[in-house]
Amino acid sequence: MLLVAEPIVGPEEKAALLEVIDSGWLTMGDRVRAFEQAFASQHEAEDSVAVNSCTAALHLILHALGLGPGDEVLVPSLTFVATANSALYVGATPVFVDIESADVPLMSLSDAEARCTPRTKAVILMHFAGCLADRAAWQAFAQRRGLVLIEDAAHAPGLKEVGTYGAAAAFSFYGNKNMTTAEGGAVIARDPALLAAIRQARGHGMTSGTRQRLDSRTPSYDVTMLGFNYRMDELRAAIGLVQLRHLAAWNEIRRGLVARYRRLIADRCPSVAVPFAQPRLSTCHLMPVLLPGPVLRQEVIDHLRADGIQTTIHYPPVHLMSFYRDRDPTVDLPRTEDFAARELTLPLHPRMGPETVEAVVSSLARAVQSSTSVEAVA
């Protein structure tokens, strides 16, 4: 089965893991620190904080910014649930914002504007599919409204522009992302004081970590804030250091594959739309397409599956999930709902070759053709 996303891990990662085991130091040691610095420099940042997930990264950012009960946070609904959950973790209220259009499925600035209230304190942008949001426009909006800008950059590691939008950015190294540590995440924040607060909150709010105390004369420590255990371990950091060395090249391969997808889809199934018609900076994390109205998505999914091709949906809207719908059944995001109802995500990862893209598009073209003709007969 050709999967939508596949991690690339091999001998280099195995060797790196063995080194950690032989070293006898398993968590929050020199490798985590080296990974933080390497990840930061990849994004031309001074420093970063490694954590055990992007979800933890988002939580720490909102926590360190002091967001809490009574505050509203603008979030997309066309995202993974963690984006919205992070607001609830700190007691704030996520306010869902519609996408701009089917062609630009990023948060709509005009809808964000319309959903602002005197309680709105922050906005979390998500670089959907790896396509970057419009930085200047969002910075101007945040400044005008006095809001904190946060990036959910789970889809967009490896571009120096990412992590420069506002206060902080959260990254994911889950198994299906552009680089992986199996589970893992990181925070980039340009303000050293904010990053320091995030670093401390990651480890129970303690004033020093186990590794620092080894080098220090004073084995004691203080706890000066409410913290969490969101630490990364040495095994994951060792994998991350290997992955990071390949990230730029992998993202380049992804770009080539997406360009090929675009050409072939335009050629062989022009009724299928590919979002982001205008070129944009992108890490090409996902390959989303929009099926034409009359096509039954499930038939297309089944057809591709029979050809050994997995597809997925990005995303079932968060505001329609039972948990969120029960909280507020009145949320209405027509463009998000239309997009999510027609979206299909095709396989995209650097282990694929050009011939694999051909095979996927051929299968898609046949699937759309047969689903459309069934519809026409009916």
Ligand X SMILES: *Cc1c(COP(=O)(O)O)cnc(C)c1O
Question: What is the set of active-site residues?
Answer: 177
Binding of ligand X at residue 154 (CB under 6 A)? Answer: yes
Binding of ligand X at residue 253 (CB under 6 A)? Answer: no
Out of 20, 42, 45, 80, point to the residue binding ligand X (CB under 6 A): 80
Q: Supply 6's token pair.
A: 């596949």
Relative orientation angle of helices 30-42 and 234-268, to the nearest 10 degrees: 30
Binding of ligand X at residue 83 (CB under 6 A)? Answer: yes
Binding of ligand X at residue 180 (CB under 6 A)? Answer: no
Give the single-character DSSP code of 207.
Answer: S
Relative orientation angle of helices 234-268 and 11-23, to the nearest 10 degrees: 160
Binding of ligand X at residue 185 (CB under 6 A)? Answer: yes
Between CA 343 and CA 247 the distance in angstroms is 27
Binding of ligand X at residue 106 (CB under 6 A)? Answer: no
Out of 174, 250, 261, 324, point to the residue binding ligand X (CB under 6 A): 174
Q: Smallest distance, Å, CB 366 to ligand X?
A: 30
Between CA 189 and CA 59 the distance in angstroms is 14
> Candidates 78-86, 255-263, 317-325, 363-371 — which segment interacts with ligand X by CB under 6 A?
78-86
Out of 42, 53, 108, 120, point to the residue binding ligand X (CB under 6 A): 53
> Candidates 79-87, 110-118, 234-242, 360-368 — which segment interacts with ligand X by CB under 6 A?
79-87
Binding of ligand X at residue 345 (CB under 6 A)? Answer: no
Residue span 231-250 as binding mask against ligand X, x where in contact by CB under 6 A, dash where not: --------------------
DSSP 310-354: --B-S---GGGSHHHHHH-TT---HHHHHHHHHEEEEP--TT--H
Q: Supply 329's token pair.
A: 């059944």
CB 231 within 8 A of CB 184: no
Task: Quickly list H helices, the chain.
Answer: 11-23, 30-42, 54-64, 82-89, 109-114, 135-145, 192-202, 210-215, 234-268, 297-306, 322-327, 334-342, 354-377
Residue span 108-147 as binding mask against ligand X, x where in contact by CB under 6 A, dash where not: ------------------x---------------------
Q: Smallest distance, Å, CB 230 to ligand X?
A: 10
Out of 48, 55, 251, 336, point to the residue binding ligand X (CB under 6 A): 55
Number of residues near ligand X (by CB under 6 A): 14
Q: Smallest distance, Å, CB 374 to ligand X?
A: 34
Chain centre distance of CA 93: 21
What are the backbone angles phi and psi of residue 327, rounded to the nearest 5°? -70, -40
Binding of ligand X at residue 152 (CB under 6 A)? Answer: yes
For residues 176 and 210, which CB has a smaller minimum distance to ligand X in the complex? 176
Report the b/e string of 65-102 with b at 16+ CB within 10 A. bebeeebbbbbbbbbbebbbbbbbbbebbbbbbbbbee
Collect all residues with Cβ–Cβ distance below 8 Å to 267 and sequence separation of at least 6: none
Out of 82, 124, 188, 198, point to the residue binding ligand X (CB under 6 A): 82
**Which chain residues interact with ligand X by CB under 6 A?**
53-55, 79-80, 82-83, 126, 152, 154-155, 172, 174, 185
